[in-house]
Amino acid sequence: DVQMTQSPSSLSASVGDRVTITCRASQSISSHLNWYQQKPGTAPKLLIYSAFSLQSEVPSRFSGSGSGTDYTLTISSLQPEDFATYYCQQSYTLPRTFGQGTKVEIK
Amino acid sequence: EVQLVESGGGLVQPGGSLRLSCAVSGFSLNNYWINWVRQVPGKGLVWVSRIKTDGSDPSYADSVKGRFSVSRDNAENTLHLQMNSLRAEDTAVYYCVGEEARFYYDTSGFSGYYYYMDVWGKGTSVTVSS
């Protein structure tokens, strides 16, 4: 199975901050990397697919980058509605695997 | 509108069975897969199973292989996750998730499909306890 490791597990940030979350795969996944946002009590929501493609209606302050085994989700200017948990997920192979999540909290 | 609605969750004793359902609407039958993803409250997301919307090509996580099975009810456009021999560790919220396949062809000459889970149901809770 492809193991996905996110860092950090949690972070505290202020509105307006630039936030970066990283995800490392245990083998190359050739940009088959998706990012999701989950708020408490709700289902996850797709933000980024194929490493850098912004899902429809997702604000442009979210961006993704990376290749091979290393990927990054960046929020250019954190907004109040962005406080949530973020997950990376590889879709290169089965079983699909997720990172353990990064909780973004208010400083 | 693309929509997935889960049902069938509840409390079951260890060793028991439960069948979850996922009603699908608004999907094209092409290039879509239906996954089941589970989440213990406060914990991360774990993939369980996947099946094509036409009911073909099922796949399972090792942790549920031989105990869970997915199928499609053609008449009702509903997919089912039959869960047998349930264990306490199967306790979770189960999400029905639509996974789209998008063809790509890059400048290096490689082609294939990108897959991403872009439609999520609200989830149904399963508790396995005596």
Verify whether the Cβ–Cβ distance B116 to A34 is below 8 Å: yes
Contact between chains at B47 and A46 (C-beta distance less than 8 A) = no
Indicate the helix (H) or strand (E) that contains A100: none
The dihedral region occupied by B112, where left means phi > 0, alpha psi between -120 and 50, and beta the remainder, is left
Q: What is the pLDDT of residue A83?
A: 94
Distance in angstroms (rounded) separating the CA atoms of residues B95 and B20 = 10
Q: Give the distance from residue B95's alpha carbon to the nearest chain A alpha carbon, in angstroms.
A: 8
Inter-chain touch B59–A89, beta carbons under 8 Å? no
CA distances, B43 to each of A9, B12, B38, B96 (Å):
12, 21, 10, 17
Which of B18, B7, B129, B11 lies closest to B84 in space, CA to CA?
B18
The residue with tokens 């189960």 is B94
* Cβ atoms B29, B98 nearer than 8 A: no
**Cα–Cα distance between B87 and B74 in angstroms, integer?**
30
- The answer, for A103 touching chain B at a CB cutoff of 8 Å, is no
Asked whether the CA dihedral A86, B21, B103, A4 is positive or negative, the reply is: positive
Task: Give the pLDDT confidence score for residue B107 in this predicted structure.
Answer: 83
Q: Do B116 and A98 touch (CB under 8 A)?
A: no
Residue of A nearest to B95 (CA): A43
Average of per-residue pLDDT values in chain B:
92
* Cα angle: B17, vertex B50, B63; to 5 degrees: 55
Lowest mean pLDDT among A42-51, B20-29, B58-67: B20-29
Q: Which residues of chain A have pLDDT under 50?
A: none
**Which of A56, A52, A45 lies closest to A81, judged by CA?**
A45
Rounded to a whole number of angstroms, the distance from the CA of B104 to the nearest CA of chain A is 10
pLDDT at B25: 85
Residues of chain A neighbouring B61 (CB-CB closer than 8 A): 95
Interchain CB contact of A32 with B (< 8 Å)? yes
Cβ contacts of B99 within 8 Å, gap of 6 or more: A91, B32, B33, B34, B35, B50, B115, B116, B117, B118
